[in-house]
Amino acid sequence: MPQFPNACLLAANGKTGRLSTSFINAVRGFKTERGFKTSVFERILRRISKPKITPFDSITIDEGPFPPSRLWKPLGFTVLVCSGTFVCAAIWQYENMRARAIALMKQRSSWIQDKYHNKKKIDSWWNGLTEADKIFLPIFFLNCWAFSAWRFPQLQGTMLRYFCSNPTSRILCWPMILCTFSHYSILHLFANMLGMYFLLQDSVVSMGKEQVFALFLIGGVISSMASYVHRVFSVTGLSLGASGAVLAIFGYFCIRDPDKDMCLIFMPFFTFSADTALCVQILLDVAGIILGWRRIDHAAHLGGTITGIAWSFWGNTYYNKTMHWWHELTGGQ
């Protein structure tokens, strides 16, 4: 998740910074020892004296201290969303498995002769997608929609309120989810979506699309909560992006398959094991938090990664127990 701490200060109350006119005029009258005006320096001053251009100019952003007492509301929201998502995903996966089993039992005995004919009768493009694509494409289109919405000045106020994680905003809870589907930079969007696409191919096979989607949402909310907690001890600012949610899937994948070969997007010839990638990612985020690097929300990244690691150790166990509970509740029907 990238951060925009300076944008909050520059655009707060709809004001932008200018150097004073008297200061510029004083520089214009300045002459060097050779009697020539400092034209180069004057041009530089003219350039920097213009209003600072940021993605959020003319938009009022709530700013101020972030007391720890404000954490209770987002903490309760995090617990509610995570537990609800977990249970709903388990029920969703159980019902899908039951529906497939019923359909298989009702299948005609002549399925061998009809299977190619049935494939030709598929009238929905959706049915031809892989399980991984059925998760990836909706997330991708939602992120593309949010990216497009940022391009319209009329929508930027709404995007800032609901699609940016801002701990000093009056609206604290809903942005914790919605910022997961929000990207302002095309490079940020491309990197997250490409990384998620490759991670989903193996993760969906081992977990199922329902459980992966639950991990994505829960990882996004917990990463936002981790960002809020970190902001109590550091400067406030805005965060957005799916990085925390993607890193939750990444953390799960690296623990479940530590020997899997991975590579950088732009350097496919340079490979390394998944457990090495996980260690490097954690070390970078810890260093970013300790050293105060503000370009990236390292607390959110670390929160997402830890969520995936925890899921790999305990998530599957409780997920299966939830499915069994639903099976017993419905009478095994």
> What's the count of helices (H) and strands (E) in the chain, helices before strands?
14, 2
Active site annotation includes 188:
no
Active site annotation includes 22:
no
> What amino acid is encoded at 154 in this protein?
Q
CA distances from 45 to 28, 37, 42 (A): 10, 13, 5
Taking the mean position of all CA atoms in its chain, how far away is CA 145?
Answer: 14
Catalytic-role residue among 239, 243, 298, 312? 243
Short-list 243, 249, 203, CA closest to 226: 243
CA distances from 307 to 174, 181, 195, 270, 314 (A): 20, 18, 17, 27, 10
CA dihedral 262, 268, 269, 275 (to 10 degrees): -10
CB 278 within 8 A of CB 254: yes
Catalytic-role residue among 183, 188, 298, 301? 301
Could you give the CA distance from residue 256 to residue 274 in angstroms, rounded to a whole number? 9
One DSSP character per residue, 275-291 reads HHHHHHHHHHHHHHHHH
CA distances from 221 to 69, 81, 94, 97, 129 (A): 19, 8, 24, 27, 28
> What amino acid is encoded at 49 in this protein?
S
> What amino acid is encoded at 54 in this protein?
T
Query: What residues act catalytically?
Result: 243, 301
